[in-house]
């Protein structure tokens, strides 16, 4: 064999060897990454080759699967009362990445979760029968919130204070997840939804923090009582009306100029929503103490998972005293979600202890065997003392019985609440946000619920926008549904 042939043979062998090395690398080292690639069509084919598991509310599946025609994706997701539950389920789409519970429990619902596999499934490398997600949602409370919000733009959350179970998560305007499930039609629906100025895909209950306005005064009051700045909600404060913001010539006034806000007690200040009292209270406490109390309630927590991750509710740092004063009335850079403000009321209603809020009770396999019980795993922590909680409960009841929150009264129940009207836009140039947070307890059954509602926009005239006028009736409807025998 001459030299030329030998060299050609060696070169050919090197090429074959390189090819074998590359094939081995792709198969054993890059194979999983390629298999998991979102653009790998085989994943979608596998996911939709059989019916998915279901999301369950009160023993009833609110999701399903239906056969498709003329597609290599054999099944598509379906939804019962899709618009009602969209803020809970999210969507599972043949064209887009799943969201909300559909996204978090993708592996469970499509049967690839390792906890679902039997020994035979493992040996044969077969996909297991899909599991199910059992939610904590109460369908009556969910529907009450959805119907009461109606054509308003807003969000609402209801929590059982003793268990942490989230009974309702509602965001309006909503959308029908079914419009996004079929790859052939999803593109048109997606374009329509994403171009809608009302942003129906935004989960306003969990993922759109807004200035909470006067509902945040509950946090400031809690800080003042816990710190010992005031010994009770009926102790007089040193609060001039109007209150001049420190370091400025700007006077902070009250919505009702005739309200008895000069040196008002916490009870009276909550009843009439006196800005001067809580602005000065925040300054006297100092931003660090107010921030510490806010964080105990859940503000500044960037990992608030229920299990959907809620956007962070914020209490700011590094402020001038005048800015600290404005945070005392839930303005400046303070933001909160309805979930966060429902957590504030839940902790107060539960004697100062906050049980971890959650929307999923259990996940199960196809036979109903429990794989994980989130109700048992829900921990709790003390936010304020039972004495402080009892005093705030009493003051919140005064708000509903005799103050700015009378529209939240529920016959046969003890209700405490706090209204809020938050400025919107530069110099409050846009329609304000209307807030209401409350708790209710049935006088006969002892059932309890905590709720928070924000109305971002409605058809009401600007002069008619208030927490009591727009948000409190929604909260009332939710509490009535939750507390009925």
- Residues tagged active-site: 214
Burial degree of 249 (CB within 10 A; 0-12, 13-18, 19+): exposed
**Alpha carbons 146 and 83: distance in angstroms, whole number:** 9
**Alpha carbons 215 and 7: distance in angstroms, whole number:** 83
DSSP labels, 107-176: HHHHT--GGG--HHHHHHTPPPPP-EEEE---HHHHHHHHHHHTTSEEEEEEE-TTT-BEEEEEEES---
**Alpha carbons 174 and 167: distance in angstroms, whole number:** 18
Beta bridge partners of 31: none
Angle at 8 between CA 7 and CA 9, to 5 degrees: 90
Burial degree of 61 (CB within 10 A; 0-12, 13-18, 19+): middle
Angle at 55 between CA 54 and CA 56, to 5 degrees: 110
Q: Is-contact 109 133, C-beta < 8 A?
A: yes
**Alpha carbons 465 and 194: distance in angstroms, whole number:** 28
């Amino acid at each position: 064999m001459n030299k030329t042939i030998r060299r050609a043979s060696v070169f050919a062998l090197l090429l074959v060897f390189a090819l074998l090395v590359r094939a081995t690398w792709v198969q054993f080292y890059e194979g999983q990454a390629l298999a998991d690639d979102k653009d790998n069509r085989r994943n979608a084919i596998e996911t939709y080759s059989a019916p998915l598991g279901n999301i369950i509310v009160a023993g009833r599946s609110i999701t399903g699967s239906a056969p498709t025609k003329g597609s290599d994706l054999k099944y598509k997701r379906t939804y019962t009362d899709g618009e009602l539950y969209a803020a809970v389920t999210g969507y599972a789409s043949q064209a887009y990445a799943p969201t909300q519970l559909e996204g978090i429990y993708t592996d469970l619902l499509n049967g690839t979760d390792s906890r679902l596999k039997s020994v035979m499934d493992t040996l044969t490398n077969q996909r297991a029968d899909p599991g199910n997600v059992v939610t904590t949602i109460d369908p009556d409370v969910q529907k009450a919130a959805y119907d009461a919000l109606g054509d308003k733009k807003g969000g609402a959350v209801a929590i059982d204070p003793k268990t942490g179970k989230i009974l309702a998560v509602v965001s309006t305007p909503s959308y029908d997840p079914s419009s996004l499930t079929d790859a052939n039609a999803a593109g048109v629906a997606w374009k329509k939804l994403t171009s809608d100025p009302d942003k129906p895909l935004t989960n306003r209950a969990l993922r759109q923090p807004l200035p909470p306005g006067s509902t945040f005064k509950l946090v400031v009051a809690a800080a003042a009582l816990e710190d010992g700045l005031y010994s009770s909600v009926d102790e007089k404060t040193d609060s001039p009306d109007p209150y001049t913001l420190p370091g400025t010539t700007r006077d902070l006034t009250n919505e009702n100029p005739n309200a008895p806000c000069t040196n008002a007690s916490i009870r009276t200040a909550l009843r009439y929503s006196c800005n001067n009292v809580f602005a000065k209270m925040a300054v006297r406490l100092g931003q660090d103490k107010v921030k510490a109390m806010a964080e105990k309630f859940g503000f500044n927590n960037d990992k608030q998972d229920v299990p959907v991750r809620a956007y962070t509710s914020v209490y700011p740092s590094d402020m001038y005293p005048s800015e600290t004063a404005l945070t005392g009335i839930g303005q400046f850079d303070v933001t909160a979600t309805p979930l966060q403000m429902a957590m504030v009321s839940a902790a107060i209603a539960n004697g100062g202890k906050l049980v971890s809020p959650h929307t999923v009770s259990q996940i199960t396999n196809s036979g109903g065997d429990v794989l994980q019980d989130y109700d048992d795993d829900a921990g709790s922590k003390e936010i304020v003392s039972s004495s402080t909680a009892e005093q705030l409960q009493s003051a919140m009841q005064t708000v509903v019985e005799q103050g700015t929150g009378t529209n939240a009264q529920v016959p046969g129940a003890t209700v405490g609440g706090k209204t809020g009207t938050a400025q919107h836009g530069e110099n409050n140039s846009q329609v304000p946000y209307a807030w209401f947070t409350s708790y209710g307890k049935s006088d006969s059954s002892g059932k309890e619920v905590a709720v928070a509602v924000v109305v971002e926009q409605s058809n009401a005239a600007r002069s008619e926008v208030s927490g009591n006028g727009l948000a409190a009736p929604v909260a009332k409807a939710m509490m009535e549904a939750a507390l009925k025998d």
